[in-house]
Structure 1
């Protein structure tokens, strides 16, 4: 169920927030470059706020002198441990917004990136992506997690403004990493009023749709390609660069560390490139509107059988699968599975089936929650998705 659906909000063109699907993550990510483009209003100072955070980390690392036992180093480690910002419902989790965040391994790599940058004489980080460039182990989801954590106070204020405008009820929650304190160099958790995500009974935080993208921006792979195209004459003398076209990301990050001037030019080139958010309305990759598309399939192919007792569940599964097959094969639903000049990924058929099942069950008052004693194993919805993936191969 989407945020607007649950809270019965009639959206208008003036509403710029992304209408979150609350039970699971949407495979989109907050791109900090898109935030920087806001030069007016409440987001105008967001870039400086994020840069101030990393300057605080830089200062601690410099004070530590590389001594991992020092107070400054330990404090910088705490700052660079980012919990999963589940409140945003963004990322790669299929069955729940509750992800894993950045672990100790990534924390260590980020610290190494800061240490390398300070060793190269950099006293501040112009872009947080520089850490990814120099350490090589950070995926786009972790970059988004970092942005959401560091700027969480901005997103909280934004969400509260949306809720007040639409009279959405809010509850007081304990919010992890609600803000950070520069004087004490630490994260601050605090109580905040936010709307509830009924799927997990936890707080929900909204983001402007214009901040969301599907792909990463600054990466070792991107640096490699850019440097090869733009700086090849300067770098061809480096045999490793000249012959190692398919090396691991960490090796590419090593090249960036060894050529900080080229890395700076790469980041500047990225800054000057036009940045386009993911086109949510057109949704070319079916990352967003699979839920509505599945609802339409279910409406066009109503169930011919509704279970009345537990023993009927097997037949119910068969009928649901057959209705979905009928929608796809006999009612032009196949067109949804066809993108621009090519077929969509298998996960799209699984997502459409998931949505169809959600709406079939909701219409017939059938409980779709996972088994209570299944732990982290598959619930009924996951079993059904597996069945349809087997049937549609």
Structure 2
């Protein structure tokens, strides 16, 4: 991706929560419903449930021989607004289209066992239909999620101060309450090349291939099935075609069940995957280090430092700590936390933090000052609790002195349940950026930082 090929060239991919689309052409990506399924974010899990419920409606219509209704429900044109797919030059693909919708309905009809048990993951369609591939799974998900993507895009435009246009037309938006498709007009960014609406997709739900995918299925569970058949002389050594594989799996649904169960058990390994990008980790890291060195301490640059810290957190910790947002306020407006991120990690340490400190969310208070005060620690400690968890960070310019460490220990000892308030300095941020530039996970660094404090506090 050249820098001026993206819709917003002023943005760097590794510094934002969403995938930056191209002006022309598709990115070889898809929304992976499994990342919604395994997420600890309740909103994302509900979205997965919405996808499954929508598909269940389609299966129900097929079971009732209501083909017209089934075609209406299972209509998934390509969502050109997100710019995902495997087209070479444009975003005007057909998605499933009429032919493939008919193929999908036909494949379900040919599998009474699947119809009876229902669909648990829409990715299973790859395993029973020769015309459904990873891009089609993405089409299914992005159509049903379009309302969420519209709202998410609007939030990201506000966070990054991106230009939007009023009343941009968007077609085929699924209404989960009424269970119908609608057309509407929304305030959204537009592509300067074709005037179409642009929808952003969170990086944390994107992969180049879905976690549950046909190629992996054939290499694992279906290969084991063939080996068992060979031992009793039931098949030859010839590699089967996709039509033959899907024909078998429509009948022998236990193969699909075993494969899906295996992939669910391996969920911790299912991570968002983006293709290599022109703005490499090294390039982005150097940019962040330069900004860190040039922003001076002081109130006049407090906002610039706060924005930089959010960019650093996104660069360093995504996809473990995700969806960072600036200046989160409580509903009554009495408390303001500088940055809140979601702890969606499968890493052992962050899983421990989530369970031991009730930290589905992690707070980062940003103080652009050389001298951190006791009052700042007291204020930050009051923010920790049931609503956002009991572990948080203060980010400031210089390492803390012994007096602040004693105050951190006092906060820990005097709170019940225990509150852990840690401090990150510019020196720590530099170290974390350099680890990420070397493609080293920063989670072990966080664990050691946490352990040093807990050892000192005991």
TM-score, with structure 1 as normaliser: 0.63
Shift of 1:126: 0.4
User: For the structure 1 residues 256 and 191, does the alpha-carbon distance in structure 2 shift closer, same or farther, using more than 3 Å as the test?
Assistant: same
Shift of 1:83: 1.3
Which of 184, 196, 203 aligns to 1:202? It is: 196
- The alignment status of 1:124 with 2:118, answered yes or no, reads yes
Greater alpha carbon shift after TM alignment, 108-117 vs 261-270: 108-117
- The alignment status of 1:149 with 2:153, answered yes or no, reads no
In structure 2, what is the Cα distance between the partners aligned to 1:152 and 1:11? 22
The answer to whether the 8 A contact 1:60-1:73 is kept is: yes
- The alignment status of 1:271 with 2:264, answered yes or no, reads yes
Shift of 1:74: 0.8
2:61 corresponding residue in structure 1: 60
1:261 corresponding residue in structure 2: 254
1:319 corresponding residue in structure 2: none
Greater alpha carbon shift after TM alignment, 96-105 vs 193-202: 96-105
Shift of 1:49: 0.7
Shift of 1:267: 1.3
User: For the structure 1 residues 221 and 24, does the alpha-carbon distance in structure 2 shift closer, same or farther, using more than 3 Å as the test?
Assistant: closer
- The alignment status of 1:92 with 2:93, answered yes or no, reads no
**1:336-370 deviation line (CA, Å, top 9, x unaligned):** xxxxxxxxxxxxxxxxxxxxxxxxxxxxxxxxxxx
**1:217-242 deviation line (CA, Å, top 9, x unaligned):** 434443332235544565447866x3
What RMSD in Å do the two structures reach over aligned CA positions? 2.8
Shift of 1:107: 0.9
Unaligned runs of 5+ in 1: 65-71, 293-393
DSSP-derived class of the 1:193 partner: strand
Of the two, which has the highest radius of gyration?
Answer: 2
User: For the structure 1 residues 42 and 118, does the alpha-carbon distance in structure 2 shift closer, same or farther, using more than 3 Å as the test?
Assistant: same
Which of 4, 8, 19 aligns to 1:4? It is: 8
Shift of 1:164: 1.6
Q: Which runs of 4+ in 1 moved over 3 A?
A: 8-13, 116-121, 180-183, 216-222, 228-240
TM-score, with structure 2 as normaliser: 0.55
1:361 corresponding residue in structure 2: none
User: For the structure 1 residues 250 and 239, does the alpha-carbon distance in structure 2 shift closer, same or farther, using more than 3 Å as the test?
Assistant: farther
Shift of 1:128: 0.4
In structure 1, what is the Cα distance between the partners aligned to 2:206 and 2:231? 39
State how 1:4-23 maps to structure 2 within 5 Å. Answer: 4-5=8-9, 8-9=10-11, 13=15, 15-23=16-24
State how 1:1-393 maps to structure 2 within 5 Å. Answer: 1-5=5-9, 8-9=10-11, 13=15, 15-40=16-41, 42-64=43-65, 72-120=66-114, 122-171=116-165, 172-180=167-175, 183=178, 186-232=180-226, 234-236=228-230, 242-243=235-236, 245-273=238-266, 274-280=269-275, 283=276, 288-289=277-278
Q: For this pair of structures, how many residues does the alignment match?
A: 275
DSSP-derived class of the 1:83 partner: coil
Shift of 1:209: 1.7
User: For the structure 1 residues 177 and 110, does the alpha-carbon distance in structure 2 shift closer, same or farther, using more than 3 Å as the test?
Assistant: same
Shift of 1:117: 4.1
Unaligned runs of 5+ in 2: 282-458
User: For the structure 1 residues 22 and 56, does the alpha-carbon distance in structure 2 shift closer, same or farther, using more than 3 Å as the test?
Assistant: same
In structure 1, what is the Cα distance between the partners aligned to 2:114 and 2:230? 22
Shift of 1:79: 2.1
